[in-house]
Chain A
Amino acid sequence: MNQHLSDKALFDQHKKRLKAEHRSTRYWQLLIFILFFTLWEIASRLHWIDPLIFSSPTKVGQSLIKNISSGDLWFHLRVTVLETFAGFLLGTFGGILIAFMLWNSRKLYHVLDPYLVVLNALPKVALGPIIIVALGPGYGSIITMGAIISIIVTCLVVYSAFREVDANYLKVLQSFGATKWQLFKEAVFPASLPAIISTFKVNVGLSWVGVIVGEFLVASKGLGYLIVYGFQVFNFTLVLYSLIVIAFIAALMYQAVDKLEKWLLKKI
């Protein structure tokens, strides 16, 4: 028998097996999805669960269609996504900027260290009422909530990544007489980029938390507001429908950042 052909046949077999494996995973995922919604629907119709509290997929679906066609969904969604995005950018880049300042001045880091530790340990959403009082009820305070929740942890993670850069890379640059900014630009920042990008992923999720909590507290629009409103008027179809939209959009954003990460990492 031809050895070369049999190698190729083996490889084909291996590929086929991988494909089958992949397909079976997909089937299971789909099955769980269908099972969950079917069970929910049945349980609701047969009153195994209280339909007033847990609603049902058809009611949520109807509400979804109604709100999409009326433009209502788009309105609330746009507000929340913009707030989340702004909070994410502010928290992430603010954190990186502070990390840079701490890296630039060892002294500053030592002085601020205990404050950063306290701020990091503090549950940031507890600052909500103060932020709202200070900045007024509106986009400003909600975006701040979305930012403040991630800024400190970003700063600490990125700072330690800056510190961990191999000193010999700096030595190479120093031997050419590099300035501190050149050290940062040529070695410290590019070497820390993977760590920075991985904070993006975490921060997307954190910004959602901050913004939703912010909307709980103060807003008159947005998905977080819809949840609170639905809760107050005991319209749990509205609550669940908002929840599903949030889950969907948050997952989409996470995927986008994930793609961005892969793309950026390939570039460097």
Chain B
Amino acid sequence: MSLLKGKQLTHYYFNTSNYTKALENISLSVEEGAFISLLGPSGCGKTTLLSILAGIIEPTFGKVTLNEKNVTETQSEMGYMLQQDYLFPWKKIIDNVLIGPKIRKTLDNQTIEKAKQLLKDIGLSSVIDAYPSSLSGGMRQRVALARTLITDPSLLLLDEPFSALDFQTKLKLEDLVSALLKQYHKTSILVTHDIGEAIAMSDQIYVMNANPGRIHQQFEVPIELRQLSPFDARKHAKYQHLFDRIWEELNQLESTSIG
């Protein structure tokens, strides 16, 4: 059974002088435990789609359901991770992690213990009482991950969470996130413009095109790659093969949109 379903999603942005059609007729379904990537050039509406799936934006047309319920009612089952960590600089790391339970008024000693354990799992137990400004970019993004995982969401939405990091940190974090998601058996949707990242991390890749945003093609990641960690997957022969196919596809998309 599909965990998340988006049906014929179309979205417009309006302002006083103009309107843009950001998404057109997008339908997708995500199986439980799957890792999906939305891949496409900037401006193809990836983030808009993710916000709609998260229930933060109401689509102009169409409907999103999570476990057969409308997403706007099921926000407690969603976790959202942004391009940058957006940790609150005036809150300690532990309080940043606990913001979700605090908002939902489910904060208790058990949750606090859970947060401490989670921070320990991702190697940040020493900075629990520090403020975000004293942490490196990679550490901060790990805290943001903990903040997302603490509420135990059944669906994780990742909006280019690695794009603001340096390459080395990014590779390490990909492995960590991938391992954690498998460990907790999470369903995830990743938005990215990095082909390699999409292949290394996901089970299925949706390639999107822009103006208006549409799903152009779907790729299945070979089972051999899925079983490897992102870092090892990058070294597999089939990785390069899929990379070249998607690269071709994106190039073609670009030339048709220019022509």
Binding site for B on A (CB under 8 A): 166, 168-169, 171-178, 182, 186-187, 190-191, 193, 268
Contact = CB atoms under 8 A, between A and B. Distances in A.
A196 to B, nearest CB: 13
Contacts of A191: 90
12 contacts: A168-B82, A171-B56, A171-B80, A173-B103, A175-B79, A175-B157, A176-B151, A177-B75, A177-B103, A177-B104, A187-B88, A268-B90
B82 A171 contact: yes
Given A168-B82, A186-B99, A175 B56 contact: yes
B103 A176 contact: yes
A182 to B, nearest CB: 6
A43 to B, nearest CB: 54
A165 B147 CA distance: 20
A122 B133 CA distance: 43
Contacts of B78: 175
A190 B90 contact: yes
User: What's the interface size class on B, roughly?
Assistant: 20 to 34
Interface string B60-86: 000000000000000110111010101
Interface string B30-60: 0000000000000000000001001010000
B80 A186 contact: no
The 7 closest A-B CB pairs, nearest first, are: A175-B80, A177-B75, A176-B103, A176-B100, A268-B90, A178-B103, A168-B86
A176 B75 contact: yes
Contacts of B84: 168
Contact of B99 (A166, A176, A268): A176
Given A168-B86, A187-B88, A190-B90, A175 B104 contact: no
Contacts of B104: 176-177
A193 B88 CA distance: 13
A161 to B, nearest CB: 15
B56 A174 contact: yes
Contacts of B56: 171, 174-175
Given A176-B100, A177-B103, A186 B151 contact: no
A171 B102 CA distance: 15
A187 B102 CA distance: 13
A175 B100 CA distance: 9
A171 B99 CA distance: 13
A52 B214 CA distance: 86
A166 B84 CA distance: 12
B82 to A, nearest CB: 6
B86 A169 contact: yes
